[in-house]
Amino acid sequence: MEFDRSMEYKDHLYETYNRLYGNYDDSEYSTSQRIINAIILFFLSVVLLNMLIALMGDSYGKVQETRVLTDSQTRLDMILESTILMRLFEKRDSNVKKQYIMYCEPKGEEEEVAGDSNQWEGGVNVLKKLLRQSDQKMSVMSSDMKELEQRFNMKVAGIEKKMEANYQDIMSAIKSLKEKKNN
């Protein structure tokens, strides 16, 4: 379609929307319906772009989770390949002992490497870290609550003993007053 100078600015904008979202017949729409349609399409674009960004961020987070493992596997493959190539081009000597490649993995889920703390962690890793921290805080709070409950029970038991002693004193005083009154 050629540029038509007789069209108004709003018609050019709406033609852009038509080209972006497909050419459909909107001749039956009123001006207010066209405006509402344009607003809805704009917000739909924003929502879809946000969803795309979130999906890409989660994908990046998953890649970052397996980064160390993937790097280690790639290095091991390169070492194995270089070892095989070296054996092909080396002369065989009967005095050469067998050599082995050893690979050690750290025990545990987390690997804290110095200097890596400022890297982007990803949404999943942040949630995992927050859940671990909240679990630790909850366990500390639980032990604190048990300690407080024990101290509270000890104080209540002490108060009950004092109340029982006071009750016995009052009952004996009442008994002695009754005896004095009867005499």
Residue 113's pLDDT is 47
Greater model confidence, 176 or 99: 176
Q: Please, which pLDDT band fits residue 115 given cuts at 50, 70 and 90?
A: very low
Note whether 125 and 117 are within 8 A (CB).
Answer: no
pTM over 0.75: no
Distance CA 176, CA 178 (A): 5
Residue 112 has pLDDT above 60, yes or no: no
Which pLDDT does position 158 carry in this prediction?
93
Q: Percent of the chain beyond pLDDT 90? A: 28
Q: How many CB atoms lie under 10 A from the CB of residue 120?
A: 11
The one-character DSSP state at 91 is: P
Confidence of residue 114 (pLDDT cuts 50, 70, 90): very low
Is residue 19 predicted with pLDDT exceeding 60?
yes
Confidence of residue 77 (pLDDT cuts 50, 70, 90): confident
| % of the chain beyond a pLDDT of 70 | 78
For range 89-108, the mean pLDDT: 65
Q: List the alpha helices (DSSP H) in the chain.
A: 9-21, 31-65, 67-89, 123-182
DSSP 117-164: GGS---HHHHHHHHHHHHHHHHHHHHHHHHHHHHHHHHHHHHHHHHHH
Give tens-digit pLDDT for 123-147: 667 778 888 999 999 999 999 999 9
116 DSSP assignment: G
Report how far residue 123's alpha carbon sits from residue 113's, in angstroms, rounded to the nearest whole number. 20
pLDDT in tens, 31-55: 888 788 778 878 988 999 999 998 8
Task: For residues 159 and 165, give the distance between their C-alpha atoms in angstroms, rounded to a whole number.
Answer: 10
